[in-house]
Amino acid sequence: MADAPVASVSTGALRGLRDGDVDRYLGIPFAAPPVGDDRFAPPRPPAAWDEVRDASSFGATAPQAPYGGGLEKYLPTVDIPGDDVLTVNVWTPAERTDAALPVLVFVHGGALARGSAAIDAYDGASFARRGIVYVSIQYRLGQEGFAVVEDVPFDLGVLDQQAALRWVRREIAAFGGDPARVTAMGHSAGAATLTALLALPQAGDLFDRVILQSGPMTGQSPRKAGRMSRLVAKRLGITPTKAGFASVEPARLVAAQTEVAAGGSPLGRGPTVTLAIGDDAAPVDPLRALLAGAGRGIPVLIGATSEEYRLWFVPTGVLTKVTRTTLELARASARVPRRIVAAHRRRRPDALPGEILGEIVSDMILRGPHTRFADSRLRGAAPTWMYEFGWRSPVDDLGAAHGMELGFVFDRLGTPDAIAFGGADGPQSLAETMHDAWVRFVVDGDPGWEPWSSRHPVQVFDAQGAHLEYAPRADELRGLPTR
DSSP assignments along 43-55, one per residue:
--PPPP-SSPEE-
| Closest CA relative to residue 391, chosen from 310, 337, 299, 481 | 310
Give yes or no for residue 2 having a pLDDT over 80: no
Distance CA 182, CA 205 (A): 10
pLDDT given for residue 264 in this prediction: 59
Strands lying side by side in the sheet with 12-15? 6-9, 12-15, 53-54
Reported as a single tens digit per residue, the pLDDT across 289-342 is 999 999 999 999 999 999 999 999 999 899 999 999 999 999 999 999 999 999
Distance CA 249, CA 328 (A): 45
Strand pairing category for 12-15 and 53-54: parallel
pLDDT given for residue 96 in this prediction: 86
136 contact partners, CB below 8 Å, separation of at least 6: 88, 89, 105, 106, 108, 117, 122, 124
The helix (H) or strand (E) run that includes residue 459 is strand 457-462
Give yes or no for residue 483 having a pLDDT over 70: no
Give yes or no for residue 56 having a pLDDT over 80: yes
Distance CA 272, CA 274 (A): 6
pTM: 0.96
pLDDT given for residue 380 in this prediction: 87
Sheet strands (E) in 241-339: 300-305
| Closest CA relative to residue 22, chosen from 8, 5, 37, 9 | 5
CA neighbours closer than 13 Å in the CB half-sphere of residue 314: 20
pLDDT given for residue 467 in this prediction: 97
Whether the CB-CB separation of 433 and 464 falls below 8 Å is answered with: no
**Catalytic: which of 144, 308, 355, 388?**
308
Whether the CB-CB separation of 28 and 89 falls below 8 Å is answered with: yes
Distance CA 195, CA 218 (A): 8
**Catalytic: which of 116, 188, 229, 362?**
188
CA neighbours closer than 13 Å in the CB half-sphere of residue 267: 19
354, amino acid identity: G
Running DSSP on this structure, what letter comes out for residue 251? H
DSSP assignments along 314-345, one per residue:
HHHSHHHH--HHHHHHHHHHHT--HHHHHHHH
Per DSSP, the chain holds a count of helices (H) and strands (E) of 20, 14
For the chain, give the mean pLDDT. 95
Sheet strands (E) in 149-215: 177-187, 209-213
Active site residue 402: yes
pLDDT given for residue 262 in this prediction: 82
pLDDT given for residue 265 in this prediction: 57
Distance CA 171, CA 179 (A): 8
Distance CA 26, CA 135 (A): 10
Torsions phi, psi for 184 (to 5 deg):
-100, 140
Distance CA 116, CA 86 (A): 11
Query: How far from 93 is each of 26, 175, 300, CA to CA, in Å?
Result: 15, 9, 26
The helix (H) or strand (E) run that includes residue 387 is strand 384-389
Running DSSP on this structure, what letter comes out for residue 393? B
Radius of gyration of the chain (CA): 22
Q: What's the average model confidence in pLDDT over 42-52?
A: 97
pLDDT given for residue 62 in this prediction: 97
Active site residue 188: yes
DSSP assignments along 108-126, one per residue:
--STTTS--TTSGGG--HH
Reported as a single tens digit per residue, the pLDDT across 198-218 is 999 999 999 999 999 999 999
Domains and CATH numbers, the chain: 1-298 (3.40.50.1820), 305-440+455-483 (no CATH)
Q: What's the average model confidence in pLDDT over 350-368?
A: 96
Give yes or no for residue 81 having a pLDDT over 70: yes
Running DSSP on this structure, what letter comes out for residue 78? -
**Catalytic: which of 108, 344, 402, 435?**
402
